[in-house]
Structure 1
Amino acid sequence: MNRKTLVLPAVVGLLAPVLAACGGSDSGSDSGDAIVVGTTDRFTASEEAPAPLDPAFAYDVGTWNILRQTVQTLMIQPKGDGDPVPEAAEKCGFTDTGNERYACTLRDGLEFANGDKVTAADVKYSIDRARAINADSGVAALLSTVDTVETQGDREVIFHLNTADATFPYKLSTPVAGIVNPKDYEKNKLRDGFQLDGSGPYTMKADVKNGEMVDAVFTKNPKYKGTLQLNNDKVQIRSFADADAMGAALDKGDIDVMSRTMSPEQIKKLSNASGGNIDMVEMPGLEIRYLAFNTNAASVKDKAVRQAMAQIVNRSALVAKVYGTQAEPLYSLVPATITGHSNSFFNQYGDPSDSKARTLLKKAGITTPVKLTLHYTTDHYGSASKQEFQILQQQLNASGLFDVSIEGTEWKVFRPAEQKGSYEVYGMGWFPDFPDADNFLAPFLDKNNFLGSPYVNDKIRNELIPQSRRQADRLSASSSLTEIQDAVADEVPVLPLWQGKQYIAARDDITGAAYALNSSSTLQLWQLGRGVSS
């Protein structure tokens, strides 16, 4: 029987008690067979990125979902979302009134999977290593508020921050803060390839072909001590070239679960199906898509060009034609369900208008049509990306104000090129590191940002971001967060497009699928089990 499990959107942190009754046994599956999970995420090691799974380098949702199964962090986001809770730590908290000193006590008896003791010195080593390497992926920016790390004995770690940062507990739940063994990870060098070691719930063995990890087997780690309760003993992640191949494997029974990224057509078909032995699970998500600009590129250097694009793009039509009910138009970098969200782009531009865009360009003395290329990745955000960019091209060209071409590139080439500033306009997605407005703003606008963007707004960097981080009550940070979003809408270094839902398809005998992804698209393999679905 086909059952569609719908987890309704709710305020972050309120899902846990509602959903607590569903799931498999906490003692682990009795079956020795691995639960096989399909994904279209690609895991490649290249000359530009030879260390895709090093916590000091990895910074995309696919590699983070590998790391979260194997590398333990002091804090973790709980089932159902909400504020982070201790994981490798026994307790953590700010010890001052200014949110500048954060102390953690490790659990007693922590061990790496090889039996080595996990100590406070290992935590300090891991954090200091990520900061010192400062990989060009931009992930070290999550630790930018750390000044020094102090240890007291084997179990006490104290973080001295260089500025107030109420979001710091969230940052300690991300893989860049993962605890690594100094024996396995050199101090000043990334660990190339696909070997991965830690103290997390699973150990991992990778199957690598031609520099690409095509398969990974996660086996329950008997040394693990933490908050997670595993519903299985073994899970296998298998990478597919596209959504169609992944769907065919699910139909044949070669895999048990289909995760990101399914095509819109697959989601619609499975959601509407009756009968069969595959369940579709729909969950709220915080994934966003946006256009990013190299604001130094001649074609888009004048903000009037970027404003005109913001004035023309019809998000509602774009979403309706490509994603239907699977996404919603987005008028800010901050999703609508996050505290501090403001519809700044709608407030600035209102409904799409070619005439208003023409006025903007004429006033700035811009010769039309403006010629430019929109770049997108063909294999990282799903099969619908090409259609999405074809529609964006049509909307802009139909105005008569732009002469737009589009170009698709594989992620392994696209990402390094984007970071080097090779593209004038390019499409990106963002799966948040943690569910807070800060993580939808700082990674794009702060120094050493994720995009490597040349855009600089001193007030945002030096006043508004630090000001928002002083507020432990995130609702109290809304005024500074709104001001940031209004500035982005005015200067358009990025152009938000839509916010998506997320989906998993699982065979009928798989339990826990409703919890296999949290709102930040974190894959939680430990939630999956075999049995009768609840």
Structure 2
Amino acid sequence: MKKRMLVLLSLVLALSAFLAACGNGDSGSKDEASQDLRLNIRSEPFSLNPGLANDSTSSNVLLQTFEGLTRIDKDGEPEEAMAESYTVSDDQLTYTFKIRDDANWSNGDPVTAEDFVYAWKWALDPNNQSQYAYQLYYVKGAEAANTGEGKLDDVGVKAVDDKTLEVTLVNPTPYFTQLTAFYTYFPVNSKIASENPDWYKDSGDDYVSNGPFKMTEWNHSESIKLEKNDTYWDADTVKLATVEYSMIDDAATARSMYENDELDWNGLPFDTVSTDAIKALKDSGELKTQATAGTYWYKFNTEVKPLNNVHIRKALTYAIDRQSIVDQITQGGQIPAMAAVPPTMFSENEKGYFKDNDVETAKAELQKGLEELGYKDVSELPTITLSYNTDEAHAKIAQAVQDMWKKNLGIDVTLGNEEWAVYIDKLHSGDYQIGRMGWLGDFNDAINFLELYRDKDGGNNDTNWENAEFKQLLNDSQKETDTAKRQQMLKDAEAILMDELPIAPIYFYTNVWVQKDNLKDVVVSGLGDAQLKWAHFE
């Protein structure tokens, strides 16, 4: 999930959860009885349909308004949610979930097994162009249905009765109950969705959800308001009355709002702390930093000259001084990334596959690339544009990299930026050359970072890169039951990715934020998302 941030703590696993309860932040001015939380999510969500969402902005809303068969608990482990229980067959291929009798939609309709069947098949329908449909490929027949080679009727998910859902997998998948907590696996109200295909585009009577909160207002590109969902099966646990999201994409403005008691949280995973404020916040002890399984990287469109040449991609990748970026710009304990999978999953990746700021090798690769492309020197290279979504930190990093490429390689690069929804749409449609992106783990397994690039036309690939050996290793890893052998397959696949470099890793993320002293129990996971189910003010 995208726009994401890491300080490597040896005892923190990717699914460890952190309770954002202690704090040296500014004390809030809220009355004791007030349970109204104010957050900033920077921009309009890409989509608030669980089957279309593919970014952290959308996720920050959906994780509060919807709920899957399972939920990741405070300790980072999957627990029963919409499902009160489940059983697994002896061959580990069939999961049977029993849905709670008191599982209801926010309009009072019961949540049924058919709501899950409908939602999953909707996401898999190629006509709906779900970027995250591949997350459902663990289900038998899902990939074939999504690629058009099979039928939706053959997908291995069925409603045995109103409250019993049976799921058949392609291979044994030990982390499947982690996946069912992810938003692509969330249900939708099948009755409403079948009658109104645009149900998710605005707030109103048809936007119903089944999580701790319900959306009551959506002022597009300005704000979203959530209210406690009294029909939620575990409503007694929910203490917040409302959650209001602002959409302020300027970090300095958001910082001022926090200081003026207009926001209760400033920083990840909702928005970002202004880079100009980080040092002072560190020195004061207010800043909180948490390890996160995520990687910030640049994507190369490998079908556009000169980025179709691997040596040019290597030159640009090797000529970046990552240490200076994390020391002078991000300043949140991030680790320079010379690998794709974060060290919380592959510990050796703290070192990576190549040297940071290796200008000598970068120049040699540049020369090889120029010769292969038939260019006399860099002056003959086509114009290269580095794009990013509007954000203070992204802009500073892009400007720094632009200077590095000019200084180290003599390559002039132009910069371009756009608001998130427009930017991500352009990336997905291939309308870019080099684009900023990042990835936070959706579940605690390295394949989540690698499978992005398995298929050229994969929903979140964007690079147009594909490699048969890489793809085969990933496919084989999903069938391998020996943990050590499977781990090696994934490492071998990553080595191919880091040799051909359709992406240039920049750093491993951290979550960095400040919060009001009286705000308790916001659960920020090791995967970089946040849950508000348990949050409250004291």
Q: TM-score range by the shorter chain?
A: 0.7 to 0.9
For residue 429 of structure 1, what is the aligned residue in structure 2? Answer: 438
Q: Which whole-Å CA distance do the structure 2 matches of 1:385 and 1:307 have between them? A: 21
Task: Give ranges in structure 2 of 5+ residues lacking alignment.
Answer: 1-6, 24-29, 142-155
1:114 to 103, 107, 110: 107
For residue 86 of structure 2, what is the aligned residue in structure 1? Answer: 92
2:202 to 194, 201, 211: 194
1:343 to 331, 336, 349: 349
1:181 to 185, 189, 213: 189
Shift of the 280–350 alpha-carbon distance from structure 1 to 2, 3 Å rule, reads closer
Deviation of 1:31 after TM superposition, in Å, equals: 5.5
Shift of the 530–107 alpha-carbon distance from structure 1 to 2, 3 Å rule, reads same
TM-score of the pair, normalised by structure 1: 0.85
Deviation of 1:66 after TM superposition, in Å, equals: 0.7
Q: Give yes or no for the alignment of 1:454 onto 2:464.
A: yes
For residue 42 of structure 1, what is the aligned residue in structure 2? Answer: 43
Deviation of 1:133 after TM superposition, in Å, equals: 5.4
Q: Which whole-Å CA distance do the structure 2 matches of 1:310 and 1:188 have between them? A: 47
Q: Which whole-Å CA distance do the structure 2 matches of 1:107 and 1:238 have between them? A: 34
Shift of the 344–262 alpha-carbon distance from structure 1 to 2, 3 Å rule, reads closer
For residue 362 of structure 1, what is the aligned residue in structure 2? Answer: 367
In the TM superposition, 1:96-495 aligns within 5 A as: 96-97=90-91, 99-132=92-125, 135-136=128-129, 138-146=131-139, 147=141, 148-186=156-194, 189-195=197-203, 196-208=207-219, 211-212=220-221, 214-226=222-234, 229-259=237-267, 260-273=271-284, 279-338=286-345, 340=346, 342-343=348-349, 346-347=352-353, 349-364=354-369, 365-366=371-372, 367=375, 368-369=377-378, 370-379=381-390, 382-446=391-455, 447-461=457-471, 463-470=472-479, 477-495=486-504
TM-score of the pair, normalised by structure 2: 0.84
Q: Which whole-Å CA distance do the structure 2 matches of 1:150 and 1:14 have between them? A: 29
Q: CA RMSD in A?
A: 3.0
Q: Residues 231-276 of structure 1, C-alpha deviation per residue, up to 9 Å, x if partnerless?
A: 32332222223122222122122222224222222233223227xx
Corresponding residue SS for 2:237: coil
Deviation of 1:356 after TM superposition, in Å, equals: 2.0
Is 1:92–1:104's contact at 8 Å kept on the other side of the alignment? yes
Q: Which whole-Å CA distance do the structure 1 matches of 2:505 and 2:14 have between them? A: 25
Q: Give yes or no for the alignment of 1:498 onto 2:507.
A: yes
Corresponding residue SS for 2:193: coil
Is 1:129–1:187's contact at 8 Å kept on the other side of the alignment? no
Matched letter for residue 464 of structure 2: P
Deviation of 1:181 after TM superposition, in Å, equals: 0.9
1:58 to 42, 53, 62: 53
Deviation of 1:164 after TM superposition, in Å, equals: 4.5
Q: Give yes or no for the alignment of 1:526 onto 2:536.
A: no
Corresponding residue SS for 2:505: strand
Q: Which whole-Å CA distance do the structure 1 matches of 2:93 and 2:504 have between them? A: 33
For residue 517 of structure 2, what is the aligned residue in structure 1? Answer: 508
Q: Residues 151-197 of structure 1, C-alpha deviation per residue, up to 9 Å, x if partnerless?
A: 22222211123344444322211111111112321389453523331
Shift of the 529–192 alpha-carbon distance from structure 1 to 2, 3 Å rule, reads closer
Q: Which whole-Å CA distance do the structure 1 matches of 2:95 and 2:32 have between them? A: 42
Deviation of 1:423 after TM superposition, in Å, equals: 1.1
Matched letter for residue 287 of structure 1: G
Deviation of 1:306 after TM superposition, in Å, equals: 0.9
Is 1:35–1:256's contact at 8 Å kept on the other side of the alignment? no
Deviation of 1:468 after TM superposition, in Å, equals: 2.4
Deviation of 1:489 after TM superposition, in Å, equals: 0.9
Is 2:36–2:242's contact at 8 Å kept on the other side of the alignment? yes
Deviation of 1:73 after TM superposition, in Å, equals: 0.5
Shift of the 408–330 alpha-carbon distance from structure 1 to 2, 3 Å rule, reads same
Q: Residues 278-305 of structure 1, C-alpha deviation per residue, up to 9 Å, x if partnerless?
A: x543222223210111111121111111
Corresponding residue SS for 2:256: helix
Matched letter for residue 42 of structure 1: S
Deviation of 1:450 after TM superposition, in Å, equals: 0.6
Shift of the 485–325 alpha-carbon distance from structure 1 to 2, 3 Å rule, reads same
Deviation of 1:415 after TM superposition, in Å, equals: 1.6
Is 1:12–1:81's contact at 8 Å kept on the other side of the alignment? no
Deviation of 1:310 after TM superposition, in Å, equals: 2.3
Is 2:339–2:349's contact at 8 Å kept on the other side of the alignment? yes
Q: Which whole-Å CA distance do the structure 1 matches of 2:180 and 2:49 have between them? A: 16
Corresponding residue SS for 2:415: strand
Is 1:371–1:404's contact at 8 Å kept on the other side of the alignment? no
Shift of the 453–353 alpha-carbon distance from structure 1 to 2, 3 Å rule, reads closer
For residue 33 of structure 1, what is the aligned residue in structure 2? Answer: 34
Is 1:123–1:180's contact at 8 Å kept on the other side of the alignment? yes
Is 2:225–2:244's contact at 8 Å kept on the other side of the alignment? yes
Is 1:332–1:342's contact at 8 Å kept on the other side of the alignment? no
Matched letter for residue 33 of structure 1: S
Is 1:56–1:134's contact at 8 Å kept on the other side of the alignment? no
Q: Which whole-Å CA distance do the structure 1 matches of 2:518 and 2:236 have between them? A: 22
Deviation of 1:88 after TM superposition, in Å, equals: 0.8
Q: Which whole-Å CA distance do the structure 1 matches of 2:235 and 2:174 have between them? A: 23
Q: Residues 367-418 of structure 1, C-alpha deviation per residue, up to 9 Å, x if partnerless?
A: 3314442433242xx4111110111111111123523222222223222222
* Larger CA deviation: 134-143 vs 389-398: 134-143
Task: Give ranges in structure 1 of 5+ residues lacking alignment.
Answer: 1-5, 24-28
